[in-house]
Amino acid sequence: MRLSDLQAKMVVNVNDGKHLGAIVDAEVNESGQILYFTVMMKHLFKRLFKSDAEVNITIKQIVKIGADVILVDL
| pLDDT of 73 higher than 80 | yes
Q: Is 12 exposed, middle or buried (0-12, 13-18, 19+ CB in 10 A)?
A: buried
DSSP three-state, residue 1: coil
Q: Which fold, 3-72?
A: SH3 type barrels. (2.30.30)
What is the reported pLDDT for 41? Answer: 80
In whole angstroms, give the CA distance from residue 47 to residue 53: 5
In whole angstroms, give the CA distance from residue 55 to residue 9: 15
What is the reported pLDDT for 3? Answer: 85
- pLDDT tens digit string along 16-53? 999 998 899 999 999 989 999 999 886 655 555 655 67
User: Domain boundaries in the chain?
Assistant: 3-72
CB 2 within 8 A of CB 19: no
Higher confidence at residue 54 or residue 38? 38
